[in-house]
């Protein structure tokens, strides 16, 4: 199983737009082959913060829909 847990920060003033995008994305993501779960949560006190939780049955199925890694979507190292 592949699990992704992502925190997304919307730009100031774009919170409603991001919420609408995630609502549409949720419906479509749940239709993906291999998708076991796709859930978006909006933070209770910070309207800009979203938490996305995804589960896929196998790495192979997740890779079929995941974008190829690039410098713009690769995990960033945290500086100390």
Residue spans per domain, the chain: 2-65
- Note the pLDDT of residue 71: 55
Q: Confidence class of residue 80 from pLDDT cuts 50, 70 and 90?
A: very low
pLDDT in tens, 14-72: 999 999 999 998 988 888 888 889 999 999 999 999 999 999 888 877 777 776 666 55
Q: Is the pLDDT of residue 79 over 60?
A: no
Fold annotation for 2-65? Alpha-Beta Plaits (3.30.70)
Structure pTM? 0.73
Q: Is the pLDDT of residue 78 over 70?
A: no
- Note the pLDDT of residue 29: 86
- Strands 2-9, 35-42: pairing is unpaired
Q: What is the 3-state secondary structure (H, E, C) of the chain?
A: CEEEEEEEECCCCCHHHHHHHHHHHHHHHCCCCCEEEEEEEECCCCCCEEEEEEEECCHHHHHHHCCCCCCCCCCCCCCC
């Amino acid at each position: 199983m592949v699990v992704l847990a992502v925190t997304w920060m919307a730009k100031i003033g774009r919170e409603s737009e991001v919420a609408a995008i995630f609502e549409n994305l949720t419906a479509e993501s749940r239709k993906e082959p291999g998708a076991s779960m796709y859930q978006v949560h909006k933070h209770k006190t910070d309207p800009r913060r979203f938490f996305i939780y995804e589960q896929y049955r196998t790495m192979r199925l997740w890779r079929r829909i995941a974008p190829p890694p690039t410098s713009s979507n690769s995990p960033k190292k945290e500086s100390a």
